[in-house]
Amino acid sequence: MAHRLRIHLCVTVALIASPALAQGQETPQDGDIVVTATRTETLASKTPIALTAIGAEGLRDAGISNPTQLADVVPNLSIDRANGLQITIRGVTSTDGTEKGDPSAAFLLDGVYIARPQAQEVSFFDIERVEVLRGPQGTLFGRNTTAGAVQVISARPLDHFAASFDAAYGNFDAIQATAMVNVPVTSGFALRGAVNYDRRDSFVIQSPTSPFKLDPAKNNLSARLSALLELGPDVSLLVKGDYSRIKGRPAHSVRLTNFFTRPFTPGGQPQYVDLGSTRQRMRLHNDGTPSFTDNDTWGVSAELNWAFGPVTMTYLGSYRELERHEGGPQDFGLPTAFVGVFDGEYWQNSQELRFAFDNDGPLTGQVGGYYFKEKSGIGAFILNPPFVPGALAYGFPQDPTIAESKAVFGQLSYELVPGLKLTGGVRYSHDLKSRVGQTVIIFPAPVGQIPTQQNNARRTFSKVTWRAGVDYDFGDTLLYATVSTGYKAGGFNDGCEAGTATGCALPADILYYDPETLTAYEGGIKTRFADGAVRLNASVFHYDYKGLQLSFQSNSCGGPCQITTNAGAAKVDGIEVEASLHPHPNHRFDFGVNYLDARYDRFIPRPGIDFAGRDLDRSPALTASAGYNFTLELGNGGRIEANARIRLSDSYVLTDYAVPVQFRQPSFHKTDLALTYTAAEDRYYVQLYAKNLENVITLSNLSAQNGTSATFADPRTYGVRAGFKF
């Protein structure tokens, strides 16, 4: 299979096409795009970081309407639906989406860190651009950026009237609609509002014997209101508020035996079987109960920028809440599934103050401070649990769980000679994590609720992360080399430390797990030549990855619970190459080829089983993308655009660490097509699209325990989009 994949790569590398991506077709005069990857505005081609930036038109042309689809166009990126979103960049990821867990890649909305992965999969609407930063961003972004960061930038209010409406309809009864209006209230004051509706049926085919519906899988409504106030030539205040209602029936999983044959032997790699896309998506077991999601999230943020000559002060403050009400079947491999319910309330508060200075001299930089606090109270229960005869419920009432982070940081750049720049940055972070809670069993009266375990823990962590780099800009070419570090705080498992309270028996090294750290060495080039018709970005990198935090479901707590442990060390080596060729105004070619060697250096998940040398999850050795864009200008001022894109991936593994066993997803390729008519002056457009023409079903998450489960990425989707603006 791998040999066939490499042949495909050689044949298709010349066919490559992609939408307007990091090469920045958003500004045609020089083919660049403005990004904020360094917390100040820079051109993507002049930013010494491995990044991909996609503007609003690029998102539309690529058919990207939610975060999971970014992986179609960004090198070495995987965004999967798990308990919320799981982001993997260059093999670095986190598998703990609970209230006590943290991601390894930060998800930010307008510069604000969104802590809970359950609040991250909302539709992209009225977006200015999306930036994906690869590699640790521990100096300027800080919290939980071991892998990198995904930053979503919503559109800002404008100083003129504007309005638009976009809608799409596709298979799986998918409906998306966005309305936007921008109003200049007075000179220096503008408002912008946008509303989005996002609905889709389930990709899973329900068992014909089940009385429960899986549709709609999602039924979301979101809104955003922004206000921009220019208080003078040097002072601006941007205030944003957003709300999302997240509903649906999120029954995403099927049996793992739809993809692999038993036995699932510890330390082994089970045999993959290709039953075809229809059979792979079938749920043939009895649900036992319907699933539901009824969540709400909202937030407000304020960004104040004030220039004092060569110094600009930026204040960014935010407050957010998430309310979760979820339920569905809990599958223990028995003839009938059991009911699980979850209720949770979360709030987060973040405050950041930065001072950036640039007096047109050789020295530039920024310093700042950051504060973050998240607090939650949750209750998760399994009703009539099969492992406790006679019980009404088994559950985890936890309130409160607290995460608090404080940091100070600074980064300086000095231009030694014209074009040659040295950069150094440092950040000190202090993290507090704590929880008060219990594991309980509820029996009928008069017995009532019986605590079986206290889940009380508290620990602090501190770390200095840093970045050092050199870059040389000689016109159309930027060369750079960096060494950077990332850090994610440690945490705790269920239980309490021996000696801290009655019934507490866990030693500290079992209850708590340590921080994970990463040191990255990277060198790269960003260049253009042939009068800008050819663009090339390339980077080579090596990671020393220590203390990997791996989480898995276990039945070792008297019932189901999640355990996180540190997994020794890993190494990651890779090469990324992206290029675009624009030989004629009507023709554009793009391609990308990526090599990744992400493997465990030391990891023994169970005595007698050694994972040293084995692949990290979601880390295909070779991936490539290719495509072509054709534009036909019409006599009426309109244009027709045809886009074709293919993405190829080598095989990769997914691991159930509790068994432990690795499952290998075979290599595959997916093709996307789009045909768009745009009227003169971009007044309206109509687009036909199709994604994953091959209808290949690729695994995204799995469990080999109890009844087993597997979730998968989107199958073939197709439909029509249209929109107008005035």
Q: What is the pLDDT of residues 70-83, one digit of tens each?
A: 998 999 999 998 77
Mean pLDDT for 212-218 is: 91
Taking Cα atoms as reference points, which of 720, 715, 719, 668 lies closest to residue 217? Answer: 715
Q: Where are the beta strands (DSSP E) in 359-456?
A: 363-383, 393-417, 420-442, 449-454
Q: How confident is the model at residue 337 (pLDDT cuts 50, 70, 90)?
A: low
pLDDT higher at 639 or 120:
639
Q: What DSSP character marks residue 92?
A: B
In the predicted model, what is the mean pLDDT of residues 30-44?
83
pLDDT at 333 over 80: no
Interatomic CA distance for residues 726 and 723, integer angstroms: 11
**Beta-carbon count within 10 A of 441 CB:** 20
Please report the beta strands in 547-683, taking only residues with DSSP state E, as ranges in sequence order: 549-554, 561-566, 569-584, 587-602, 622-633, 639-649, 652-656, 661-665, 668-678
Query: Distances in Å between the alpha carbon of 323 and those of 83, 296, 346?
Result: 15, 5, 6
Q: Please give the pLDDT value at position 558.
A: 53
Whole-number Cα distances in Å, 455 to 367, 391, 395: 39, 21, 12
pLDDT at 440 over 50: yes
Query: In the prediction, which pLDDT does 102 show?
Result: 87
**pLDDT for residue 26:** 38
Please give the single-letter amino acid code of residue 125: F
CA–CA distance, 523 with 539 (Å, rounded to integer): 6
> Would you place residue 554 in the very low, low, confident or very high pLDDT band (cuts 50, 70, 90)?
low
Cis peptide leading into 400, omega within 30 of 0?
Answer: yes
Give pLDDT, residue 638.
96
Chain mean pLDDT for the chain: 90
Angle (CA) 572-577-581 rounded to 5° is 170
Q: What mean pLDDT comes out for the span 193-221?
A: 93
DSSP state of 261: P
More confident residue, 698 or 38: 698
pLDDT bin (cut points 50, 70, 90) of residue 336 is low
| Angle at alpha carbon of residue 33, lines to 92 and 646, rounded to 5° | 55
The strand ranges marked E within 331-362 are 338-358
Task: Give the mean pLDDT of 184-191.
Answer: 96
Model pTM? 0.91
Helix (H, G, I), strand (E, B) or coil at 407: strand
Q: Would you say 347 and 332 are in contact if contact means Cβ atoms under 8 Å apart?
A: no
Looking at residue 667, what DSSP letter applies? P
Burial (CB count within 10 angstroms: exposed 0-12, middle 13-18, buried 19+), residue 476 = middle
Token duo for residue 616: 């990290």
| Mean pLDDT on 200-208 | 92
The structure tokens listed for 187 are 């000179």
Q: Are 295 and 332 in contact (CB under 8 A)?
A: no
CA angle 223, 376, 79 (to 5 degrees): 60
pLDDT, tens only, 282-331: 988 777 788 899 999 999 999 999 999 999 999 999 999 999 999 988 77
pLDDT at 22 over 70: no
Upper half-sphere CA count for residue 683 (Cβ side, 13 Å): 6
User: Tokens in use for 537?
Assistant: 């970005």
Q: For the purposes of burial, counting CB atoms within 10 Å of the CB of 385, is it exposed (0-12), middle (13-18) or buried (19 or more)?
A: buried
**Distance linking the first and last C-alpha atoms of the chain:** 51
Closest CA to 251 of 279, 278, 285: 285
Question: Looking at 123-137, 243-257, 381-395, 543-557, which range is the least confident one?
Answer: 543-557
Residue 117 is predicted with a pLDDT of 86
> Does position 14 have pLDDT exceeding 80, yes or no?
no
CB 266 within 8 A of CB 318: no
In this prediction, residue 537 carries a pLDDT of 96
Instruction: Please tell me the distance from the alpha carbon of residue 494 to that of residue 498, in angstroms, as a whole number.
Output: 13
pLDDT exceeds cutoff 80 at 353 = yes
Is residue 573 pLDDT above 90, yes or no? yes
The confidence score (pLDDT) of residue 10 equals 38
Inform me whether the pLDDT recorded for 668 exceeds 90. Answer: yes
Please check whether residue 360 is in contact with residue 352, taking contact to mean a CB–CB distance below 8 angstroms. no
Whether the predicted pLDDT of 28 surpasses 60: no
**Please, are residues 345 and 323 in contact by the beta-carbon 8 Å criterion?**
yes
Amino acid letter at 143?
R
For the chain, give the percent of residues with pLDDT over 90. Answer: 73
Residue with tokens 């498992």: 493
Segment 59-70 shows an average pLDDT of 87
CB atoms within 10 A of CB 150: 25
